[in-house]
Structure 1
Amino acid sequence: MNQDPLQNLRLSHPAHFLALGFGSGLSPVAPGTMGTLVTLPLVWLLAFSGQTGYLLVTLLACVAGVWICGRTARDMGVHDHGAIVWDEVAGMLLTMIAVPVNWLTLLVGFLLFRMLDIFKPWPISYLDKHVHGGAGIMADDILAGVVACGLLHLLIFIGWLPVPAL
């Protein structure tokens, strides 16, 4: 009889709470997408903190995420269980670095990140398959976020994604 890995978790444990994306990873449908969605209000709020604050929170999310995801995966006894979505939180934060935040950039950033995270083109797929532990859980989403950020900036630069003048 196999035990449900979720039984080993407690939302009162800070690492578990964060790894599960504030509980969004417990969604029975598309937990990764739910983890990304729950990040959008955080992106919106951080946009008002200035670029330095945004970058510090994003760096903290990425660095601490290695421990948060690794600890939760060990407690679950499963590597990169679908309920662990902190990597999506960090990836979405990375996607929106230095992007003027409005509903359209959030939507396009969300779609770009989710497509890269789901389809995992090379080299994202390489990291997903060859890096293990907490770093492995985080690495592919970090790269997906960086690539999505680059694509988002490219769309803005070439004028395909209009942003209001500041």
Structure 2
Amino acid sequence: MEVLVMGLASGLGLGFSPWASGTVGSLLALPLAWWLLGRSRRWRLGLVALLLVVAMPLCQLASDALGGKDDGRVVLDEIVAFPVAVIGQVAARQPLVMAGTFVAYRVLDATKPPPVPQIEGVAGGAGIVLDDVMAALYAWALVAAGLALWRRRKGEGR
């Protein structure tokens, strides 16, 4: 059971990367998000909610086994939170938009703007997952604003 939990929580081992384990592990979020965007809005929201809820105890168990509060080798939280950054983005299936959203998400997850540090302080797996959800919400807002500005400028140039 511990091997299964660790395998899932480490993003099939990608979280053990010696370089930028969170980013390397988060790469699994890209095909997940792409696949989810092909589902109906109801399915997207339901599946993301389910993944987030399931990830909480898995991340907690793996983190406890590794001896850390939010151990960097545990990347399931990053993987399941990233789709939040693209849900509802009409242009998210465009590769450049998806890539830009991923970069924004990783930067925001790494820099942890307020209130992310406070959310990270929530006990257990909830804190491990919810700080990544907040970073994903920030990325969603940033990309949505950027796309709106781009569309507006594009429309003004006619």
Give your verdict on TM over 0.5: yes
Q: 2:113 aligns with which of 100, 121, 138?
A: 121
Q: Give the secondary structure class of the aligned counterpart of 2:28.
A: helix
Q: Which residue of 1 aligns with 2:58?
A: 68
Offset at residue 160 of structure 1 (A): 6.0
Q: Which residue of 2 aligns with 1:98?
A: 88
Q: 1:110 aligns with which of 102, 106, 117?
A: 102
| Identity within the alignment, % | 31
Q: 2:44 aligns with which of 40, 43, 54?
A: 54
Specify every segment of 5 or more residues in structure 1 that has no aligned partner in the other structure, as ranges.
1-8
Q: Which residue of 2 aligns with 1:148?
A: 139
The runs of at least 4 aligned residues of structure 1 exceeding 4 Å deviation read: none
Matching residue's letter, 2:83: L
Q: TM-score, normalised by structure 2?
A: 0.86
Q: Distance in 1 between matches of 2:151 and 2:22?
A: 27
Q: TM-score, normalised by structure 1?
A: 0.82
Matching residue's letter, 2:141: G
**Alpha-carbon distance change, 119 to 161 in structure 1, aligned in 2, over 3 angstroms:** farther
Q: Give the secondary structure class of the aligned counterpart of 2:27.
A: helix
Offset at residue 77 of structure 1 (A): 2.6
Q: Which residue of 1 aligns with 2:21?
A: 31
Q: Are the equivalent residues in 2 in contact too, given 1:91–1:113 (CA < 8 A)?
A: no
Instruction: Find out whether 1:44 has 2:30 as its counterpart.
Output: no
Q: Distance in 2 between matches of 1:72 and 1:161?
A: 45
Q: Distance in 2 between matches of 1:159 and 1:127?
A: 32
Matching residue's letter, 1:137: I
Q: 2:125 aligns with which of 116, 134, 148?
A: 134
Q: Are the equivalent residues in 2 in contact too, given 1:65–1:86 (CA < 8 A)?
A: yes
For these two proteins, the number of residue pairs brought into alignment is: 150
Matching residue's letter, 2:17: S
**Alpha-carbon distance change, 160 to 35 in structure 1, aligned in 2, over 3 angstroms:** farther
Q: Distance in 1 between matches of 2:152 and 2:27?
A: 21
Q: Distance in 2 between matches of 1:145 and 1:49?
A: 19
Q: Are the equivalent residues in 1 in contact too, given 2:51–2:80 (CA < 8 A)?
A: yes
Question: Once the two structures are superposed, what CA deviation does each residue of 1:135-165 show, in whole Å capped at 9, x if it has no partner?
Answer: 1111211111111112111112222699xxx
